[in-house]
Structure formats: structure tokens, C-alpha cells
């Protein structure tokens, strides 16, 4: 069964980077809600917080979809991107429903603040897609099959996330995954190989005045 959750990113009509919210070290579940819309109740607040840091995605059609995945979350344009104008593209952010053989984690298993981080990372992928043509997206899909390309892309997306002000949250997600005793050594090794490690994220954050 899948839950289709459509989120209208119309909360903010801000376009300037100068208008990004300041980074916050830690978000808590009882943080005030921002005009919640149709996202599933359990992740709504987390997604709203993350979306506030991506004002340029305001008005974009982004669906949150529950699906059995090989990773915690993933983002893709809907397949009709090939036939649509860039401004009419639709995106899907998938949330894993089942963890196989201690591989990875479910979104529900990580702390609230880290949930904001990984959702922020997925929105970073959308920003990356937004900067690409349809052919560019196809090439990204092919390149993703190869680890060197995947590593470059995932790091670029972490950089986008940090630049948008969600550095503390991505850092917490990374740290959590690498330290969780339920996550297999193999998966941790993969994470360390492809993604920025917590220390590298800290160094990256130091390069931005906002932190
Ligand atoms: Zn990613």
C-alpha cells in the first residue's frame, strides 16, 4: 500500500538567498508548526521545516511517496519530465517502508533533527535536478550507477544542503547512521565511501558564514 502525499511548496514566496532562515542547531518535535499541509502527519513537521530552507522550490510539485527502497529516502523527477517543460516538472521523494537485512535505516528510526536533515538532502537533489535539462537528468541517472559519479553527486547535494542552512541536520543524520549498532558494517562502509563523513561536513560548514 502506498500513501501519496502531495505537498504544495507554497509556504514561502521568497526567492532571495538572503531570505533563507538562519541555521538552527536542533529542531525538536514540538517546534511550532508552519501552516501544515497534506504531508503525512508523522513527517509533516520535519518536511515543513526543511522546505522553509528551500524557498526557491516554492510552488514546485513535490510528492512524498512511501515505497520499499534500498535506501532511507530517494528523489526522482516523475518520468514525464522528458515531455514536460522544466517549469512543469514534478518530483517524487520516496520514503522507505522496509529495511532489508540490517541495511540502512527507516526515516522513522532516526531522530527528529536528523529526519529534517535527510529530507533537506532530498530537497537538495530536487534543486540539482532543477538546474539540469532533461538530457542532463538522464545522464545523471546513468552516472548514478557508477560509484565515482554517485560520490560526486551525493557530495554536491550535501553541499547544497549545507549552503541552504541545514548543515547541523545533515551532520546529525550522517553521524547517526554511522554510529547506529543496527546498521550493518557493509552499509556503513558504503555510506563512508559515497557521502561526506560528519567531520567533513563540519569542515564544510565552517566555510559558510551562516554557521
Ligand atoms: Zn542523496
Give dist(CA 210, CA 21) in Å, integer.
Answer: 10
What are the residue boundaries of the structural domains of the chain, listed by start?
A: 4-206
5 SS3 class: strand
Q: Report how far residue 129's alpha carbon sits from residue 124's, in angstroms, rounded to the nearest whole number.
A: 9
Distance 89 CA to ligand 1 centre (A): 19
Ligand 1 centre from 155 Cα, in Å?
8
The Cα–Cα gap between 58 and 60 comes to 6
Q: What are 136-192's pLDDT values in tens digits? A: 999 999 999 999 999 999 999 999 999 999 999 999 999 999 999 888 898 899 999
Answer whether residue 102 shows pLDDT above 90.
Answer: no
| pLDDT (tens digit per residue) in 109-139 | 899 999 999 999 999 999 999 999 999 999 9
Pull the grid cell for residue 196. 561526506
The residue-averaged pLDDT of 8-19 equals: 45
Q: How far is the CA of 53 from the centre of ligand 1 (A)?
A: 17
**What is the 40 CA–ligand 1 centroid distance (Å)?**
21
d(CA 75, CA 54): 15
Q: Provide mean pLDDT across the span 193-201.
A: 98
* Cα–Cα distance, 177 to 49 (Å, whole number): 21
74 CA distance to ligand 1 middle (Å):
7
Output the CA–CA distances (angstroms, integers) from residue 55 to 15, 78, 102, 160, 171, in the order listed. Answer: 6, 21, 36, 13, 21
Q: How far apart are CA 118 and CA 148, in angstroms?
A: 21
39-94 confidence digits (pLDDT tens): 556 788 899 999 999 999 988 999 888 888 888 889 999 989 988 888 899 999 99
Quickly list DSSP for 105-124.
--GGGS-HHHHHHHHHHHHH
The residue written with cell numbers 565515482 in the block is 148
71 alpha carbon to ligand 1 midpoint, in Å?
A: 10
Q: How far is the CA of 144 from the centre of ligand 1 (A)?
A: 10
Does the pLDDT of residue 13 top 60, yes or no?
no
pTM: 0.84
Give residue 154 CA to ligand 1 midpoint distance, Å. Answer: 5
pLDDT band at 34 (very low <50, low <70, confident <90, very high): very low
**Structure-block grid coordinates of residue 56:** 526557491
User: Contact at 8 Å (CB) between 90 and 80?
Assistant: yes
Distance 28 CA to ligand 1 centre (A): 23
Of 51, 52, 53, the closest CA to residue 91 belongs to 51
Distance (Å) from CA 210 to ligand 1 centroid: 23
Amino acid at each position: 500500500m502506498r500513501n501519496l502525499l502531495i505537498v504544495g511548496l507554497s509556504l514561502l514566496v521568497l526567492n532571495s538567498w538572503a531570505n533563507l532562515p538562519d541555521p538552527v542547531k536542533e529542531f525538536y518535535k514540538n517546534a511550532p508548526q508552519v501552516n501544515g499541509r497534506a504531508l503525512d502527519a508523522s513527517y509533516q513537521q520535519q518536511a515543513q521545516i526543511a522546505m522553509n530552507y528551500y524557498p526557491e522550490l516554492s510552488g514546485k510539485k513535490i510528492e512524498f511517496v512511501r515505497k520499499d527502497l534500498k535506501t532511507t529516502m530517494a528523489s526522482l523527477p516523475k518520468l514525464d519530465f522528458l515531455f514536460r517543460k522544466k517549469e512543469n516538472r514534478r518530483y517524487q521523494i520516496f520514503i522507505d517502508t522496509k529495511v532489508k537485512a540490517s541495511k540502512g535505516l527507516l526515516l522513522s528510526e532516526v531522530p527528529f533533527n536528523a529526519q529534517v536533515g535527510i529530507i533537506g538532502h532530498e530537497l537538495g537533489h530536487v534543486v540539482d535536478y532543477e538546474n539540469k535539462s532533461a538530457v542532463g537528468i538522464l545522464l545523471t541517472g546513468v552516472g548514478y550507477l557508477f560509484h565515482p559519479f554517485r560520490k560526486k553527486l551525493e557530495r554536491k547535494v550535501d553541499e547544497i544542503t549545507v549552503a541552504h542552512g541545514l548543515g547541523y541536520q545533515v551532520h546529525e543524520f550522517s553521524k547517526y547512521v554511522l554510529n547506529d549498532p543496527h546498521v550493518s558494517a557493509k552499509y556503513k562502509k558504503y555510506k563512508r565511501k559515497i557521502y561526506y563523513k560528519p567531520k567533513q561536513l563540519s569542515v564544510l560548514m565552517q566555510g559558510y558564514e551562516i554557521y
